C-alpha cells in the first residue's frame, strides 16, 4: 500500500468524519535525531501533539480516538529510553486527568500490572473520575499489544466456561467483544500511522479488522490538525464494503 502524501489529498473540505480513529504515534525518535536531539525530546514533543490531537478530534466531531502510546514490545528498547518514557508518562498523566473536566471519558487499554504502583493508581483514578462522562472518548494503549489482548480475553473466556458462566452454543463475536479491553467501544474505522511505516504493529487487531489504513509521510511530532482533516477526507473517499458488494 503506498504512503499517502498530503499533496495528493483534498484538504479544502471535510465531508465525512469517522466515528472511531486509531493513532499509531510513530516517529518521535527520528524527529529528534533529525534535529540532533536526544530521543526523549522526540517523545516529549510527541506527548504535546497527543494533547493537541485530542482537542482536534473534539473539534471536528470524532467521538472515539485511540492512541498507541506504549506497546508490550516497547519494553525491549534501551533502559534509559524506557525510563524517560515512564517519567514523561507520570508528568503528562496530570494533563490526561484534566481532560475529564471537558466531559471526556478516558480508558486505558493494556496490562496495567507492569507499571509501578504509583502509575497504576493514577491510571485507575483517572478512569474512575471520568467513568460517567459521555462526550469524547479517549483511549490510551499502554503496555498494550493486540495479540496479548486477544490471548488475555481467550483465557478469561476459558475460565468463565470452566466455571459454567458461558454457554458456547450461540456464542458470538459480539459476546467475545465483551472480553476485550475495549468492551462497549465500537470498532475502529480509521487507523492513521504517521512516519511512513506501513504496518499496524500489533495495534487493535480485533477491533480494526475492517479499519481503513492510512500511512502518512509526516512524523508524529509534526502531526497537525491539517493532517487529521486530510486523513478524514481520504477516509470519506474510501468505499467500505465489509466483504460485501
Check residue 1 and give its pLDDT. Answer: 40
| Structural domain includes residue 225 | yes
| Structural domain includes residue 232 | yes
Count of all residues that appear for the chain in the document: 245
Q: Are strands 20-24 and 190-193 parallel, antiparallel or unpaired?
A: parallel
Q: What string of DSSP letters covers 63-98?
A: -EEEEEEEETTGGGS-HHHHHHHHHHHHHHHHHHHH
Q: What is the mean pLDDT of residues 20-40?
A: 93
| Structural domain includes residue 242 | no
| Structural domain includes residue 1 | no
Domain hosting residue 214, numbered range: 6-237
Mean pLDDT of the chain: 91
* Residues making up the binding site: 26-31, 39, 43, 71-73, 75, 77, 193, 199-201, 212
- DSSP reduced 3-state for 216: strand
| Structural domain includes residue 75 | yes
Q: Is the pLDDT of residue 146 over 90?
A: yes
* Residues making up the binding site for Mg(2+): 26, 212
Can you name the residues that pair with 191 across neighbouring β-strands?
22, 213
Query: Model-level pTM?
Result: 0.90
- DSSP reduced 3-state for 32: helix
| Structural domain includes residue 244 | no
User: Please, where are the H alpha helices in 61-195?
Assistant: 79-98, 117-129, 146-162, 173-177
Compute, in degrees rounded to 10, the torsion defined by CA atoms 55, 23, 178, 59.
20
What are the tens digits of pLDDT across the range 11-27? 445 568 999 999 999 99
| Structural domain includes residue 96 | yes
* CA atoms 8, 233, 27, 31: torsion sign: positive
- Rounded CA gap, 189 and 208, in Å? 7
Which are the catalytic amino acids? 26, 74
Task: Record the cell numbers describing residue 3, joined without a space.
Answer: 504512503
* Residues making up the binding site for substrate: 27-31, 39, 43, 71-73, 75, 77, 193, 199-201
| Structural domain includes residue 189 | yes
- Rounded CA gap, 223 and 24, in Å? 11
| Sequence-ordered strand ranges (E) for the chain | 20-24, 64-71, 105-109, 137-144, 190-193, 212-215
- Rounded CA gap, 105 and 133, in Å? 5
The CATH number of whichever domain residue 119 belongs to comes to 3.40.1180.10
Task: Record the cell numbers describing residue 176, joined without a space.
Answer: 467475545
Check residue 244 and give its pLDDT. Answer: 64
- Rounded CA gap, 158 and 162, in Å? 6
**How many C-beta atoms lie closer than 10 Å to residue 96's C-beta?**
22
Check residue 3 and give its pLDDT. Answer: 46
What are the tens digits of pLDDT across the range 102-139? 999 999 999 999 999 999 999 999 999 999 999 999 99
Domain count across the chain: 1
Amino acid at each position: 500500500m503506498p504512503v499517502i502524501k498530503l499533496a495528493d489529498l483534498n484538504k479544502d473540505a471535510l465531508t465525512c468524519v469517522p466515528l472511531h480513529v486509531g493513532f499509531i504515534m510513530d516517529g518521535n525518535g527520528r524527529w529528534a535525531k533529525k534535529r540532533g536531539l536526544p530521543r526523549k525530546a522526540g517523545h516529549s514533543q510527541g506527548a504535546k501533539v497527543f494533547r493537541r490531537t485530542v482537542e482536534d478530534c473534539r473539534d471536528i466531531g470524532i467521538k472515539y480516538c485511540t492512541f498507541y502510546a506504549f506497546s508490550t514490545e516497547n519494553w525491549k528498547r534501551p533502559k534509559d529510553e524506557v525510563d524517560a518514557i515512564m517519567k514523561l508518562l507520570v508528568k503528562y498523566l496530570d494533563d490526561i486527568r484534566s481532560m475529564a473536566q471537558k466531559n471526556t471519558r478516558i480508558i486505558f487499554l493494556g496490562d496495567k500490572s507492569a507499571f509501578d504502583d504509583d502509575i497504576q493508581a493514577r491510571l485507575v483514578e483517572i478512569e474512575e473520575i471520568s467513568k460517567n462522562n459521555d462526550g469524547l472518548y479517549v483511549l490510551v494503549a499502554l503496555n498494550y499489544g493486540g495479540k496479548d489482548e486477544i490471548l488475555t480475553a481467550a483465557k478469561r473466556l476459558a475460565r468463565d466456561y470452566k466455571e459454567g458462566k458461558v454457554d458456547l452454543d450461540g456464542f458470538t463475536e459480539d459476546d467475545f467483544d465483551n472480553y476485550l479491553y475495549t468492551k462497549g467501544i465500537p470498532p475502529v474505522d480509521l487507523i492513521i500511522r504517521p512516519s511512513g511505516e506501513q504496518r499496524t504493529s500489533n495495534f487493535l487487531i480485533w477491533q480494526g479488522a475492517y479499519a481503513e489504513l492510512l500511512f502518512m509521510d509526516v512524523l508524529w511530532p509534526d502531526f497537525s490538525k491539517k493532517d487529521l482533516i486530510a486523513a478524514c477526507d481520504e477516509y470519506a473517499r474510501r468505499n467500505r464494503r465489509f466483504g460485501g458488494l
